[in-house]
């Protein structure tokens, strides 16, 4: 056989072999985590079950923690529901568990390094609701579930789960600032079609005219967006009212906001 | 070409801000794969372009010191490959930039907002690299040797600086620093000197040299196999030997640099470190182990075959069998998964992060031990090769040899003892063992080399090296080395980017595109393989061109 051909075949064979090795190992595709919605009517059992999923899924807790293991790198969490009440004097079990997620370095378990990240921040970024569910799951490990979907933790502080800086949905900067300031994204997905407490707005510009958008913002309760299960009426107006949105927003700001929403036409 | 690059770099931010889209789609293969392949090609050529001057200058310097014209010619030949590869690198670089701006405008505008201060220096450095390269190449034999060598050194310094700037952008994406909670820039120097910057700089320089050596070796192998005369064969055999030598010397410290990088990743974000070693990517390191094994085996195999052309090296043949067995055992241990779990769910079922049976051999302790022994073994191969045709004549030759053996045995004992002892102590203590293990190996290599230098100072030669009289199989070992290295670089590129998961900039800019998921290893290795084949196709073209230019010179002469 002529030499250059041999070399080409050799190269193909070696590359082929490595491709083959890559193909015979277990194949996993890792998808970005989805946020879980915590319904206001979830009971303790349901909450704990949801929390379990988050623990092993989006929360990535199981990357570090075991439940019923040796706890080599990070504390084993078996029986944590029982232990939690006596960790810090005067701090309830649920508050301790929440604190270990929101402010992991406030109390560092003996014998471990303070390497646990703030769970409410990026990159993990659990929502307040998701953290409630995880607390329920942990309390269920040897303790009693005391949290409900309405629980508000002290450890969450004012900031709570920080919105993450994103690139999507940019436009005139003041519109972005408004969205950030009033936390629209806590309830609306501006980047994708995810249902949060409110409908996704990534394609609002395609669905509604500027006038309709303006109306939805100024009088959210006048017409309730359709959804299955239905969206909670009054939620948006009450929230925005309490944060001073309607008192402080100026007309140019409102225009910019509507203009920005109208530019979101999905398809990203 | 250069101007296009410069204009793009400077105009980039402006371009990126036009229009409100975050992503645009690339036809057929999609944006991610398009960027992936182009970036990888840019990187491979870049690595070659950075590495070759490093050893071209070193070889030139050796030529200056020894007065041996062969070295100077070899350095010149390497540099000829360089000029073509350099333009190819630049073309891929410009394509990459152009495509990033077009396909990921939002992300690029964010990155520009952080790094705009580095763009102008980058362009200037790039020009500096171009000029010094051309002066270095065209000034060969025309400038005074000292001036010429200094330009070579300058070329290297600038080249490394260019790489470091680009590394800052890339490592920032993995371990962002110097920004506030909202992602806005606070301090550009902190963003540049982010936690993984230095480790990547070091890792890349070393890996580039190993890679460049292996590619030069492949070039020599190709020419050896297609050579028509014994003279040509002798020349390319020698060149291949040098290429392999460079590759091995750089390969030996590479695992250490890798561990340093891994440690920094753990320190930056433990979760990311665990994802890397125990999560989605755990299997990737098995594939990596297969590749590194192939590298070590190919390099050793080449040395052993090479002994055939050394008169007097027959003495050492029996030892080779044992080295081979040792290497294979180490390899098998190393290839055991750190944690065989396929998913978090499975991990929970097994009650821990380690597999009950396989996890035992797979823990760091065994791995460190195996890799350290592999390095020692390769070093012994090299040593045996070196003394193939030499017999020490100094009075203390015997005790010198005994001392060397004792050092090897001692180092191996330390490595194995700590490896075994590691199972009986806490993980936190065990991690500390890797330092004395590495220390023992480094000490052994340095001490033995020093003894060797004195031992063979005025040695008796039993015969010469018959360059060119090596089995053609050895040349395939060189090719294997080059292909494996290229493929390994591609694979590591995948994990380095993949570690960010669904983030463009980890924890700051989320990837909201359709490609936000991490593809399977099988898919990734396909992309890597295709990239590697494209790379070699280009490389063959460049080699062919470089030969062509030689031919003309030949005709003009005769």
pLDDT one-digit tens code per residue, A73-112: 788 898 898 889 888 888 889 999 999 999 888 888 888 8
Choose the weakest-confidence range: A100-114, A165-179, A187-201, B383-397. A165-179
Predicted pLDDT of residue A120: 86
Predicted pLDDT of residue B555: 54
For residue B553, count CB atoms less than 10 angstroms from its CB and return exposed for 0-12, middle for 13-18, buried for 19 or more. Answer: exposed
As a 3-state breakdown, chain A gives helix, strand, coil percent values, each rounded to 5, of: 45, 0, 55
Predicted pLDDT of residue A3: 86
Please list, residue by residue across B251-275, b when 16 or more beta carbons sit within 10 angstroms of its beta carbon and e when fewer do.
bbbbbbbbbebbebbbebbbbbbbb
Query: Is some CB atom of chain A closer than 8 A to the CB atom of B486?
Result: no
Preferred mutation among A5, A10, A13, A26 to probe B, highest tally of B CBs within 10 A: A26
**Dist. CA B387–CA B462, nearest whole Å:** 10
Candidate ranges A165-174, B120-129, B417-426; pick with highest mean pLDDT: B120-129
DSSP state of B309: G
pLDDT exceeds cutoff 80 at B420: no
Choose the weakest-confidence range: A23-37, A75-89, B445-459, B540-554. B540-554
Please choose, from the candidates B480, B299, B13, B530, the residue with its C-alpha nearest in 3D space to the C-alpha of residue A22.
Answer: B530
**Dist. CA A32–CA A166, nearest whole Å:** 15
- pLDDT-based confidence at B191, cuts 50/70/90? very high
Q: Do A66 and B516 touch (CB under 8 A)?
A: no
Average pLDDT over every residue of B355-376: 60
Average pLDDT over every residue of B355-359: 36
- pLDDT-based confidence at B67, cuts 50/70/90? confident
Average pLDDT over every residue of B204-229: 91
The length of chain B in residues reads 558
- pLDDT-based confidence at B263, cuts 50/70/90? confident
A143 neighbors A92 (Cβ within 8 angstroms) = no
From residue A42, give the alpha-carbon distance in Å to each of A19, A38, A126.
Answer: 48, 7, 18
Query: Is some CB atom of chain B closer than 8 A to the CB atom of A263?
Result: yes
Report the gap between the CA of B105 and the closest CA in chain A (Å).
Answer: 10
pTM recorded for the entire structure: 0.72
Beta bridge partners of B310: B465
Choose the weakest-confidence range: B8-17, B258-267, B296-305, B438-447. B8-17
Chain segment A175-191, per-residue pLDDT in tens: 888 888 777 887 888 88
B272 neighbors B499 (Cβ within 8 angstroms) = yes
Preferred mutation among B265, B298, B522 to probe A, highest tally of A CBs within 10 A: B522
**Dist. CA A134–CA B293, nearest whole Å:** 43
Chain segment B103-154, per-residue pLDDT in tens: 988 888 899 989 999 999 999 999 999 999 999 999 988 888 889 999 999 9
pLDDT exceeds cutoff 80 at B155: yes
Global ipTM: 0.82
Cα–chain-centroid distance for residue B482?
11
Predicted pLDDT of residue B427: 54
* A89-93: long-range contacts, CB 8 A cutoff, minimum separation 24: A92/A146, A93/A139, A93/A143, A93/A146
| β B503-505/B390-391 pair status | unpaired
pLDDT exceeds cutoff 60 at B262: yes
Query: Is some CB atom of chain A closer than 8 A to the CB atom of B286?
Result: yes
DSSP state of B509: E
Put simply, the chain B residues between 52 and 91 with a CB less than 8 A from any chain A CB are: none
Query: Is some CB atom of chain B closer than 8 A to the CB atom of A268?
Result: yes
Beta bridge partners of B487: none
Report the gap between the CA of A162 and the closest CA in chain B (Å).
Answer: 9
| β B509-510/B460-461 pair status | unpaired
Choose the weakest-confidence range: B1-10, B188-197, B437-446, B460-469. B1-10
pLDDT exceeds cutoff 90 at B487: yes
Place of tokens 């070091």: B202
Average pLDDT over every residue of B344-364: 39
| β B460-461/B503-505 pair status | unpaired
pLDDT exceeds cutoff 80 at B211: yes
The structural architecture, per CATH, of the domain A175-263 is: Orthogonal Bundle (1.10)
- The nearest alpha carbon in chain A to B227 belongs to A3
Predicted pLDDT of residue B359: 38
The length of chain A in residues reads 268
Q: What is the mean pLDDT of chain B?
A: 81
Q: Do A14 and B484 touch (CB under 8 A)?
A: yes
A35 neighbors B510 (Cβ within 8 angstroms) = no
pLDDT exceeds cutoff 60 at B446: yes
Cα–chain-centroid distance for residue B538?
19
DSSP state of B136: H
Q: Where in chain A is the domain with CATH 1.10.760.10?
A: 44-167
Beta bridge partners of B505: B509
Classify domain A44-167 at the CATH class level. Answer: mainly alpha
DSSP string, A115-162: ----TTSTTT---HHHHHHHHHHHHTTTS-----TT---STTTTT-SP
Three-state DSSP at A118 gives coil
pLDDT exceeds cutoff 60 at B219: yes
Predicted pLDDT of residue B316: 78
Place of tokens 């080059």: B482
Share of chain B above pLDDT 90, in %: 28
């Amino acid at each position: 056989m002529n030499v250059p051909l041999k070399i080409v075949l050799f190269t193909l064979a070696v590359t082929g072999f490595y491709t083959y090795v890559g193909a015979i190992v277990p194949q996993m595709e890792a998808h970005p985590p989805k946020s879980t919605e915590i319904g206001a009517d979830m009971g303790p059992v349901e909450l704990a079950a949801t929390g379990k999923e988050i623990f092993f899924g989006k929360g990535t807790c199981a990357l570090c923690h075991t439940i019923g293991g040796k706890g080599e790198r990070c504390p084993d969490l078996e029986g944590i529901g029982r232990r939690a009440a006596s960790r810090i004097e005067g701090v309830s079990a649920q508050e301790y568990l929440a604190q270990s997620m929101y402010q992991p370095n406030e109390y560092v378990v003996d014998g471990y390094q303070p390497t646990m990240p703030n769970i409410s921040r990026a990159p993990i970024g659990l929502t307040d609701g998701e953290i409630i569910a995880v607390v329920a799951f942990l309390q269920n490990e040897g303790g009693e579930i005391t949290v409900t979907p309405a629980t508000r933790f002290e450890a969450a502080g004012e900031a709570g789960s920080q919105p993450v800086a994103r690139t999507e949905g940019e436009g005139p900067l003041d519109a972005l600032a408004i969205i950030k300031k009033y936390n629209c994204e806590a309830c609306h997905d501006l980047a994708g079609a995810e249902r949060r407490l409110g409908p996704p707005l990534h394609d609002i510009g395609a669905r509604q005219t500027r006038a309709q958008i303006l109306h939805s913002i100024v009088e959210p309760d006048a017409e309730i967006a359709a959804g299955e299960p239905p969206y909670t009426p009054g939620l948006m107006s009450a929230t925005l009212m309490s944060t001073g949105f309607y008192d402080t927003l100026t007309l140019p700001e409102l225009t910019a906001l509507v203009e920005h929403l109208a530019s979101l036409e999905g398809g990203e | 070409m250069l101007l296009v690059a410069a204009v793009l770099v400077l105009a980039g931010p402006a371009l990126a801000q036009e229009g409100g889209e975050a992503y645009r789609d690339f036809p057929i293969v999609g944006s991610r794969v398009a960027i992936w392949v182009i970036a990888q090609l840019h990187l491979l050529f870049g690595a070659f372009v950075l590495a070759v001057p490093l050893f071209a200058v070193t070889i030139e310097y050796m030529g200056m010191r020894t007065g041996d014209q062969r070295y100077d010619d070899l350095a010149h030949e390497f540099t000829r490959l360089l000029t073509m590869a350099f333009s190819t690198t630049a073309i891929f670089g410009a394509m990459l930039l152009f495509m990033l701006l077009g396909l990921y405008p939002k992300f690029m505008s964010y990155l520009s907002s952080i790094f705009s201060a580095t763009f102008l220096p980058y362009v200037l450095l790039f020009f500096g690299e171009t000029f010094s390269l051309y002066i270095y190449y065209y000034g060969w034999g025309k400038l005074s040797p000292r001036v010429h060598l200094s330009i070579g050194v300058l070329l290297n310094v600038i080249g490394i600086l260019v790489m470091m700037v680009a590394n800052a952008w890339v490592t920032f994406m993995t371990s962002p620093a110097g920004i506030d909670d909202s992602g806005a820039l606070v301090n550009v120097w902190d963003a540049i000197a982010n936690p993984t910057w230095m480790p990547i700089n070091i890792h890349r320089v070393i890996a580039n040299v190993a890679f460049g050596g292996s590619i030069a070796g492949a070039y020599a192998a190709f020419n050896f196999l297609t050579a028509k005369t014994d003279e040509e064969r002798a020349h390319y055999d020698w060149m291949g030997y040098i290429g392999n030598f460079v590759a091995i010397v750089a390969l030996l410290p590479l695992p250490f640099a890798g561990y340093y990088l891994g440690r920094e990743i753990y320190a930056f974000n433990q979760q990311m470190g665990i994802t890397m070693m125990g999560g989605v990517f755990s299997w990737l390191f098995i594939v990596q182990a297969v590749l590194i094994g192939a590298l070590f085996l190919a390099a050793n195999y080449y040395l052993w075959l090479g002994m055939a052309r050394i008169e007097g090296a027959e003495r050492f043949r029996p030892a080779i069998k044992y080295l081979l067995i040792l290497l294979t055992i180490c390899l098998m241990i190393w290839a055991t998964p750190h944690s065989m779990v396929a998913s978090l769910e499975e991990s929970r079922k097994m009650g821990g992060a380690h597999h009950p049976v396989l996890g035992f051999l797979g823990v760091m302790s065994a791995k460190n031990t195996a890799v350290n022994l592999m390095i020692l073994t390769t070093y012994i191969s090299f040593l045996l090769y070196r003394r193939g045709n030499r017999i020490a004549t100094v009075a203390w030759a015997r005790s010198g040899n005994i001392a060397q053996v004792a050092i090897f045995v001692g180092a191996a004992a330390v490595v194995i003892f700590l490896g075994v002892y590691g199972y009986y102590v806490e993980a936190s203590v065990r991690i500390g063992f890797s330092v004395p293990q590495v220390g023992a190996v480094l000490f052994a290599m340095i001490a033995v080399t020093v003894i060797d230098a004195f031992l063979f100072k005025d040695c008796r030669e039993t015969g010469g090296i018959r360059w060119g009289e090596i089995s053609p199989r050895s040349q395939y070992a060189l090719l294997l080395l080059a292909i494996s290295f290229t493929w390994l670089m591609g694979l590591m590129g995948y994990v380095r980017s993949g570690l960010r998961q669904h983030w463009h900039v980890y924890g700051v800019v989320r990837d909201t595109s359709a490609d936000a998921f991490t593809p399977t290893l099988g898919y990734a290795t396909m992309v890597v393989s295709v990239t590697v084949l494209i790379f070699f196709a280009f490389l063959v073209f460049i080699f062919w061109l470089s030969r062509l230019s030689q031919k003309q010179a030949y005709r003009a002469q005769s």
